[in-house]
Structure 1
Amino acid sequence: MPAALPTRHVASRLRDRAIDLVGLMTTPLLPADYLDLVSPLRAGADLRGRIVAVHPETRDAVTLVIRPGRGWAGHVPGQYIRIGLDVDGVRQWRAYSLTSPVDRPDGCIAITVKAIPEGVVSTHVVRRARVGMLVHLDQACGEFVLPDPRPEKVLFVTAGSGVTPVMGMLRNALDDLGDLVVVHSAPTAADVIFGGELRMLAARGHITLVERHTDADGMLDADALAGLVGDLDERETWACGPAGMLDALERRWAERGISERLHTERFRPTVMATGDGGTVTFTTSEVAVEAGGATSLLDAGESAGVLMPSGCRMGICFGCVAPLREGAVRDLRNGDLTTASPDSGPGRPVLVQTCVSAAAGPCEIEL
């Protein structure tokens, strides 16, 4: 007579059979799909979060407070997170810096989003995000963080929404930073994201705050920054903002031989090489568009109304990868050329990152 199975094994088998039976009864939906409706933030589910608060920051920026699911692994101040949400029936992914303390008593996280012109996701978030909405999440990542031990003299240089990762650092590491200068640039005083909090920190002596309002003072560049911060070369510097500002800062630090003291965070990749451009044909959508050599395939497709997968838009997450069926594209970061021909065969597609690749002549993308 065979030995009896342990009770826990019997229970496990019965549970598995029950789930299989429910799966047959609910096809094409699976039991997990119904669990997602009842408990979308449960352990074991795809990582999601629920918006629990929406706080206006400026006329075009809001902070979303999100309660993440049980799979959330935490973050280091200065890191960013990718969020996915459905906009007009299409799942869109974007990356936003985390601005919340790492040890919030309620376990929530926060991101701050500024609407940008023609920004499909940022505008949707700022205008239409509501308490109770579910968003998809990835784990935090990014290297724009403070070292341990902390530097003695620190400078934060930010512009626009570039202040968001820095605010994450300030809210978590302020007590560890002694001599701290924050230089922030925005069109007007009313456009300074976290303006009230930054000014309060300055009034209490926690930071030295320098605001530059570009509508009156002009753009912040390396020469202007040197005039605002007398001991610029002595400070370990973290900078985040528009590409032009960061390019200028990197050139100055390089010229003075102190590049290792400058840490930058970019919301779009640095364009280092361009080609001649060409006609980009999106074969599935049956759309063709002329694109310049500095225009990413992602931007070209979106401008033509093609549904383009995307994520960080920085060439990091590989959420925008698509098959190149024919032609050539150039990597905007380093000039590398990738080609494909019909000989590649349907079983061996040449995959390219559309957010950091541009047409180098006529090309066909399977989207």
Structure 2
Amino acid sequence: MKSVALRAAAVFTHPAPPHDFISLFNPLSSARQMRGVVSAVRAETTQSTTIAFRPGQGWSPHDAGQWARIGVEIDGVRQWRSYSLSAAAGQDPEITVTACGKVSSHLAHHTRVGDVFFLAPPQGDFVLPSGPRPLLMLTAGSGITPVMSMIRTLIPRRNDADVVLLHSARTRESALFCDELANLSARHPGLHVVHRITSEQGRIDLSSTADLDAICPDWRSRKTYVCGPTDMLDAATQLWHDADLPESLTVERFAVATLPAVPGTGGRITFERSDREVESDGATTLLEVGEEAGILMPSGCRMGICRTCLTPLLSGQVRDLRTGEIHSNEGDLIQTCISAAAGDCHLDR
């Protein structure tokens, strides 16, 4: 019946499809791109903002800890970034954004109720275990956002929950969700929260087990989730490996782990369709070079996961910054978010 009505409506809306007219009255209606409308905006700190949005047709409910690609138009250009969903599973999605970088700063400081986001479905394997198990959460900075979704999902629903959260923040003022965590831990004895203010106490030392032994003596028996800066993740990965417990650790990275730059690499990048040439070193990604040059570059996760940034290599060589692999075959699809010039190269962009 719906398809019959749309075909009938098309007689009056031709040559535009009916959905183009429907979207004038309902911003969530789109046959081509999933959308969401901002329903609430609240400040968490001076630099961090939580944004709730009501998704339209096609959105799949998220699992606690997952992330989604969010698109927003800035100066007439649609920019995509990936953000962890901080709301509990089963609730309308929220993202908590800290102002760092062009897109995150725009979202944190300029988003208003009624604004429209462009969306991609939730994804990610940084999720709660399937059965009851004591948990340890190690987070720092904005790395607490996916873990907050887990805590909001698990703690109110399970009386047998046993969670230790160790969260690091540079200052007390910049620590996210402090009041809410204090209230949750006061009401639920299964949640134990430890804040580490690094400007006063220094960072947690994961080069040995001493800090963990003092804060959470039974950490070896817990399923552990870690999310934060790259050096923290690398140190945790090494520590759990040395303790012969790698299967007990789940890591969520906001940035791709890259190899050291190779001296003497880099070159001239030619963006053929944009008719631009840019000199680049061997450590800056093709995506960053193109964006800095004002070229419209497709992107999503910016970590080599979603493959939204795939761009044909027309000639020359590029280097995968994660593995060091050189790509030089004409027509290769290059992930620009994790590749850099390894000599002169031409891209179909």
Check 1:339–1:227 CA distance in 2 against 1; reply closer, same or farther (3 A cut).
Answer: farther
String of CA shifts for 1:54-106, please: whole Å, max 9, x gaps.
010011111111011132221111101111110111111111111112333xx
1:150-189 equivalences in 2 (<5 Å): 150-151=132-133, 153-174=134-155, 175-176=157-158, 178-189=161-172
Q: Paired residue for 2:219?
A: 232
Find out whether 1:19 has 2:10 as its counterpart.
yes
Which of residues 306, 317, 323 is equivalent to 1:334?
A: 323
Mapped partners of 1:219, 1:284: distance in 2: 47
Please point out which of 205, 213, 220 is paired with 2:197.
213
Q: 2 CA distance for matches of 1:256 and 1:136? A: 43
Does the CA-based 8 Å contact 1:274-1:330 persist in structure 2? no
Q: What letter corresponds to residue 200 of structure 1 in structure 2?
A: N
Contact 2:23 2:30 in 1 (8 A): no
1:283/1:365 contact within 8 Å kept = yes
- Mapped partners of 1:292, 1:298: distance in 2: 13
Q: Distance in 2 between matches of 1:142 and 1:313?
A: 14
Amino acid at match of 1:159: A
Larger radius of gyration: 1
Q: Is the 8 A contact 1:36 1:45 kept in 2?
A: no
Partner of 1:319 in structure 2? 308
Residues 273 and 23 of structure 1: is their aligned pair in 2 closer, same or farther, counting only changes over 3 Å?
farther
1:285 to 274, 277, 297: 274
Question: Map of 1:74-153 to 2, 5 A cutoff?
Answer: 74-104=61-91, 108-116=92-100, 119-151=101-133, 153=134
Contact 2:132 2:161 in 1 (8 A): no
Opposite residue 219 of structure 1, the aligned amino acid is R
- Give me the TM-score of the superposition, normalised by structure 2: 0.90
Distance 1:288 1:196 in 2: 51
C-alpha distance in 1, partners of 2:175/2:120?
28
Question: What one-letter code is carried by the residue in structure 2 that aligns with 1:186?
Answer: A
- Deviation digits for residues 197-224 of structure 1 (CA, Å, limit 9, x no counterpart): 1122233334211111121222334144
- The gaps in structure 1 that reach 5 residues or longer are 1-7
- In the alignment, does 2:232 pair up with 1:245? yes
Distance in 2 (alpha carbons) for counterparts of 1:15 and 1:285: 38
Could you tell me how far apart the structure 2 residues matched to 1:138 and 1:15 are? 25
- Sequence identity of aligned pairs in percent? 42
In the alignment, the residues of structure 1 paired with residue 314 and residue 205 of structure 2 have an alpha-carbon distance, to the nearest angstrom, of 42
- 1:258 aligned to 231, 242, 245, which one? 245
| Kept after mapping to 1: 8 A contact 2:19/2:31 | no
For 1:273 and 1:339, how far apart are their aligned partners in 2? 20
How far apart are residue 18 of structure 1 and its match? 4.8
Distance 1:291 1:44 in 2: 39
Contact 2:154 2:161 survives alignment (8 Å): no
The amino acid of 1:19's aligned partner reads A
Counterpart for residue 4 of structure 1: none
Q: Distance in 2 between matches of 1:209 and 1:236?
A: 16
Structure 2 counterpart SS, 1:355:
helix
Aligned residue pairs: how many?
341
TM (norm. structure 1) is 0.86
1:3 alignment partner in structure 2: none
* Structure-2 separation of matches of 1:18 and 1:162: 48
Give the Cα–Cα distance (whole angstroms) in 1 for the partners of residues 283 and 324 of structure 2: 11
Backbone CA RMSD of aligned residues:
2.2
In 2: Cα distance, 1:267 partner to 1:145 partner: 15
Q: Per-residue deviation at 1:273?
A: 6.2
Query: Aligned partner of 2:283: which letter?
Result: A
Note the residue ranges of structure 2 that are not aligned, 5 or more in a row.
none
CA distance in 2, matches of 1:184, 1:120: 26
For 1:203, give the aligned amino acid. Answer: A
- Larger mean CA deviation between 142-151 and 327-336 belongs to 327-336
Q: CA deviation at 1:250?
A: 0.5
Query: What letter is aligned with 2:306?
Result: C
Residue 59 of structure 1 is aligned with which of 38, 46, 53? 46
Distance of 2:213 and 2:232 partners within structure 1: 13
